[in-house]
Amino acid sequence: MSRPRWFAVRQDLSPSRRRLLGVCAFLLPLLLWSIVSYVPFIWHPNIKVTDAGDVSWMRPGLQFDRHEFAKEVAAAQSAGTRPPAGIRANPIYLPAPHDVGRALYTAFTTKPVLKGDLWLHESLAMSLKTIFWGFLISSAVGVPLGILCGAFVAASRLSEPFVDFVRYMPAPAFGALMVAVFGIHLEPKVAIIVIGTFFQQVLVVANTVRKVDGGLIEAAQTLGAKRSQLVLRVLLPASLPDLYNDLRILLGWAWTYLIVAEVVGVSSGITFFINQQAKYRNFDNVYAAILIIGFIGLATDQILAFFGQRFFAWKNPRSSRLRAFITRLFSRRDQPLPEGQP
Amino acid sequence: MSHSTSEPLPDYRTQDPAVAARFAKIKERPVVLEIDRLGRQFPGEHGPVTALRDISLQIHRREFVCVIGPSGCGKSTLIRIIAGLDDPTSGRMLVDGKETSGPCPERGMVFQGYTLFPWLTVKRNVMFGLEMDGMSSAQAESEARQWIDLVGLRKFAENYPHQLSGGMKQRVAIARALAPNPRVLLMDEPFGALDAQTRAQMQSHLLEIWRNVDVTILFITHDLDEAILLADRIVVLKAHPGEIQEIIEVPVPRPRSLAQLQSPEFQATRRRLDELIHPKVHAPSDHLPIVRLTQIGDDVE
Ligand SMILES: Nc1ncnc2c1ncn2[C@@H]1O[C@H](COP(=O)(O)OP(=O)(O)O)[C@@H](O)[C@H]1O
Ligand SMILES: [Mg+2]
């Protein structure tokens, strides 16, 4: 057989190729960013002044548009005064990778500008707390209601039209209202996240429960299962792996609502940090904070996916490579895990 | 379809004395399942479509009845009504003389698609019906083990369905349906998805189970040999509307085995079923209107 192709319709790739592409998925954007940042003749629309010359209103370190700067240089030359000098630079809102890399560390160590402001880690903790409560409250009501809607058409008809209607109202629109009701601290922010996720959650969960194979219900009925048993012993366990995945995806939604939630009332959390840093034009810190959100999101998702694989081994007979990797990691020290145990 | 014997086949209705005596004995037993002028209509685009009409049938205790008929004649509709998963539009159904409707564990069902609960192990699948009945977990477990032993899956009790082959899955499904002690076991083309060899194995398994368990079986198939091999009586349905065409008492003596496939009684029954299900059509030739697309001389036959 010839070497397998890179692009074959719906064919899986070898593990090494998959890994390679996974790394490239991150390296390519980084490469693009590096090229734009480090190759002076690509983009770099500004000039950073190194020597103001005789131009009275220029200061070293300031940035000017390249064409304006060229005009000043030409004017100075024709007037016979000393022209300003400078190097090409990117706008301040696009720091180079190494600046952001450094900021990923220094952002945690820089003291808050104002007394009473929070450190980065405190801001993060605040955001996580908001997400946690918002998602917990939403799920505590949304998941059971979704399951009811998926199980009983009457429940679905009674609640879903309204839920569908509210779903289209943007959660931030409720911001002022929530502040009026809940005050200006944590509560209205949690409420915004609840509003943002709850209505989606009901619909998504209901749909997942509806996808359970009707044959399983019929089989359970012929085995004597009654109504509540059909819900609790068939629909629920049958849809649990998919519900788990739904919640994983909805948690991602909750993060997007976090940013609007945090500007409601007293601005707080990671959003406040980002806004403060942008105000002081520390854009490297801004990027660092955004990246940290990305890392937290990716890490939670991967951890949840990993546990999902373990909980629902019956659903994914093919053990994941991450799972195999971690199994190997631990089995070096401990006993090897017994085969086929979920 | 080919029978090598040169002598003419006997009539499928002639029974040798042992077989006749067996049928007499069966008819003395009480009627477990009775359906009385059962009918089912579905709403269609051009008015209601009659899927079943006037189906009447009495099945005696520990009888093995097969239902056979062309695709779409209402076999599944019939067995689903008997299982209580669908409601008839007319007629009645009685189990042990009492009119019933709705699903109930006294009428166990085995589906073609296995429908095992994928999140439960084999053992817990079999325990499901017992637990629904309110049996304690410990007792359900010990009973489930007996049923799992009966279908020969002791080694796989702790496996999940996705780890089993098709034949094994169907054995679990049979054990699961039998565990709550049903009066009637309903089976809708249970071996339809299996390969020929596994299917033959499952047929002898099923006969073995039926011999050892006090259960009456109503079995749907579209495989004529399977029906003759398994059944005491074969109910032949015809399509549009689904009606009973004939009920055949199978003259093949028990115990049955694949070796009887060539016996005259078997062949006679087989020929009768063929006549009923694939009636001789006179005029149309069975050549497809295909234009020759290969070169002259490039022949495969
Ligand atoms: N739910 C339904 N709605 C409408 N028509 C149906 C339904 N179920 C079955 N039918 C019709 O009833 C007839 C019998 O179907 P079925 O019992 O599945 O046949 P078989 O199992 O013998 O192949 C078919 O013509 C089919 O189209
Ligand atoms: Mg069918």
Q: Which one has a higher pLDDT value, A62 or A340?
A: A62
Which structural domain, as residue segments, surrounds residue A52?
A: 24-94
Tell me, yes or no, whether A109 and A88 share the same domain.
no
CA distance to A143, A199, A208, per residue, from A138 (Å): 8, 9, 17
The residue nearest atom 14 of ligand 1, judged by CA position, is B74
Instruction: Inform me whether the C-beta atom of residue B160 falls under 8 Å from chain A C-beta atoms.
Output: yes
Q: In what order do the strands lie in the sheet with B107-110?
A: B107-110, B184-188, B216-221, B64-68, B233-238, B243-249
Domain count across chain A: 2
| Pair (A143, A50) in one structural domain | no
Quick check: is A124 in a domain?
A: yes
Q: Which phi and psi angles does A84 have, rounded to 5°?
A: -75, 155
Backbone phi, psi, residue B7, to 5°? -70, 150
Distant-in-sequence, close-in-space partners of B99: CB < 8 Å, separation ≥ 6 = B92, B93
CA of A114: how far to CAs of A37, A149, A271, B92, B95, in Å? 31, 50, 16, 84, 83
B40 close to ligand 1 (CB < 6 Angstrom): no
Please check whether residue B18 is in contact with residue B265, taking contact to mean a CB–CB distance below 8 angstroms: no
- A30 with A160, same domain? no
Residue of B nearest to A235 (CA): B117
Ligand with minimal distance to B80 CA:
1
What ligand 1 atom has the least distance to the C-alpha of B69? 22
A341 contact partners, CB below 8 Å, separation of at least 6? none
| pLDDT digit string, tens, across residues A98-153 | 999 999 998 888 787 777 778 888 899 999 999 999 999 999 999 999 999 999 99
Residue A18 lies in a domain: no
Q: Is the pLDDT of residue A332 over 80?
A: no
For the beta sheet containing A63-65, the strands, ordered from the edge strand earlier in sequence to the opposite edge, are A63-65, A46-51, A85-89
Give residue-wise pLDDT tens across range B60-118: 999 999 999 988 899 999 999 999 999 999 999 999 999 998 999 999 999 989 999 99
CATH number for the domain spanning A199: value is 1.10.3720.10
Q: Do residues A113 and A67 both lie within one domain?
A: no
Q: Considering the domain boundaries, does residue A328 fall inside one?
A: no
Where is the domain boundary, A33, A59, A94?
A94
- Is residue A8 included in any domain, yes or no? no
Whether A232 is in a domain gets the answer: yes
Pairing of strands B216-221, B184-188: parallel
Residue A342 in any domain: the answer is no
- End-to-end distance of chain B based on CA atoms, in angstroms? 23
Q: Are residues A75 and A177 in the same domain?
A: no
Tell me, in angstroms, the distance from the centre of ligand 2 to residue A36's CA: 65
Which region, left, alpha or beta, applies to residue A43 given φ > 0 means left and ψ of -120 to 50 means alpha?
left
Average of pLDDT values for A79-85? 89
User: Residue A222's pLDDT band (boundaries 50, 70, 90)?
Assistant: very high
In a domain, residue A323? The reply is no
Of B248, B236, B233, B254, nearest to B12 (Cα)?
A: B248
- Of the two residues A195 and A339, the one the predictor is more confident about is A195
Predicted confidence band at A264 (pLDDT cuts at 50, 70, 90)? Answer: confident
Q: Do A198 and A79 fall within a single domain? A: no
A125-to-A263, B119, B120, B182 alpha-carbon distances in Å: 16, 37, 40, 59
My answer on whether A133 and A28 are in the same domain is: no
- What percent of chain A is predicted at pLDDT more than 70? 92
pLDDT given for residue A267 in this prediction: 86
Interface contact A316, partner B, CB < 8 A: no
Helices marked H in A211-265 — which ranges?
A: 214-222, 227-229, 236-262
Q: What is the pLDDT of residue A131?
A: 94
pLDDT for the residue A117: 78
Q: What is the pLDDT of residue A317?
A: 60
Give the pLDDT mean for A222-251.
94
Residues, chain B: 301
Residues of B in Cβ contact (< 8 Å) with A223: 105, 108, 128-129, 132, 176-177, 180
- Residue ranges of domains in chain B: 17-106+182-277
Percent of all residues in chain B with a pLDDT value above 90, rounded to a whole number? 77
Question: If you ran DSSP here, which 8-state letter would residue A111 be given?
Answer: P
The candidate with the shortest Cα–Cα distance to B15, out of B213, B261, B291, B249, is: B249
Task: Tell me if B39 sits within 8 A of B55, measured CB to CB.
Answer: yes
pLDDT mean for each 10 residues of chain B (301 residues): 62 88 94 95 91 95 95 93 95 93 93 93 96 93 95 94 93 96 95 92 94 95 94 93 93 91 93 86 65 82 78
Q: How confident is the model at residue A313 (pLDDT cuts 50, 70, 90)?
A: confident
Alpha carbon nearest to ligand 1 atom 5, residue: B42
B17-106+182-277 sits in which CATH class?
alpha beta
Query: pTM value?
Result: 0.85
Do both A166 and A69 map to the same domain? no
CA nearest B82 in A: which residue?
A222
ipTM: 0.89
Q: Could you tell me if A173 and A294 lie in one domain?
A: yes
**Same domain for A238 and A209:** yes
Residue A341: per-residue pLDDT: 38
Q: A190 and A250: one domain?
A: yes
Same domain assignment for residues A130 and A216: yes
Q: Is residue A56 assigned to a domain? A: yes
